[in-house]
């Protein structure tokens, strides 16, 4: 069995909203999740995970002006060998 890689997924949604008694109002909704995935995980599989998390965020914030995703893999190189952290 291959070594697992810790993958951090962050989804951020933000935009302007109207709130009585305020001149300007902005809203932000964010979630962050981690998963240990096999090295063989494809970009298409990561995209599906991002889509699922974006759908979850949209349940709370239906029409964000911006909806962003960040996927992080943490690794370091020691003696020419790449070691995944987490």
Q: What is the pLDDT of residues 15-56, one digit of tens each?
A: 988 889 999 999 899 999 999 999 899 999 999 999 999 999
What is the DSSP secondary structure assignment for residue 3, as one 8-state letter? P
Q: How far apart are CA 60 and CA 54, in angstroms?
A: 10
Question: How is the chain split into domains, by residue range?
Answer: 4-84
Q: How far apart are CA 80 and CA 4, in angstroms?
A: 19
Q: What is the value of pTM for the model shown?
A: 0.81
pLDDT band at 68 (very low <50, low <70, confident <90, very high): very high
């Amino acid at each position: 069995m291959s070594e697992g890689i810790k993958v951090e997924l962050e989804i951020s949604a933000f935009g302007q909203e109207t709130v009585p008694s305020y001149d300007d109002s902005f809203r932000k909704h964010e979630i962050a999740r981690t998963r240990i995935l096999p090295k063989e995980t494809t970009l298409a599989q990561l995209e599906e995970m991002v889509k699922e998390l974006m759908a979850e965020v949209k349940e709370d914030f239906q029409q964000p002006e911006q909806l962003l995703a960040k996927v992080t893999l943490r690794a370091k190189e020691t003696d020419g060998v790449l070691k995944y952290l987490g």
